[in-house]
Amino acid sequence: MSVNKAILVGNLGKDPELRYTPSGTAVCTFSLATTDRFKNKQGEQQDRTEWHNIVAWAGLAEICGKYLTKGKQVYIEGRIQSRSYDDRDGNKRYITEIVASEMQMLSRSGEQGSSGAGGSRPASQSNESAGSSQEPPFNPDDDIPF
């Protein structure tokens, strides 16, 4: 058995880019920043920001393209995927991205980067069957035990 699951809460670095494949499938890409805060050896507060490439497909892509904007805080759940491509000069490039399966807006309408709940239900890539077990939706107001 293996598990490939990523859970991120962060802020969009720029407005999402919504495109369609030649067959008409929606694909939305955007960058998400997560920041770790820690104290250095001198006891000074430091921030370390990681940038994540996010890709959403089909209905979830259209939702992301319609509702997300630069600076918004979102919850993203998905899987880590690496792929390669050839750049304009013919050089092989490698990229690691998160293929989103769920997204929940955390910023309230009109706010940037707030931790308030923006929706009652996360948007999902596919609808699970009613009988399957599923994790409860992320609620930023819940106490986190760590």
- Summarised one tens digit per residue, pLDDT across range 89-145 is 999 999 999 999 999 999 765 555 544 434 444 566 544 333 333 344 444 444 444
> pLDDT for 1-29, tens place per residue?
999 999 999 999 999 999 999 999 999 99
- Does any domain span residue 65? yes
Looking up residue 10, the CATH number of its domain turns out to be: 2.40.50.140
Q: Which domain holds residue 110?
A: 6-122
130 has which bridge partners?
Answer: none
Six-digit token string for 133: 């077990």
Residue 128 within a domain: no
Asked if residue 131 is part of any domain, the answer here is no
Tell me if the pTM is above 0.85: no
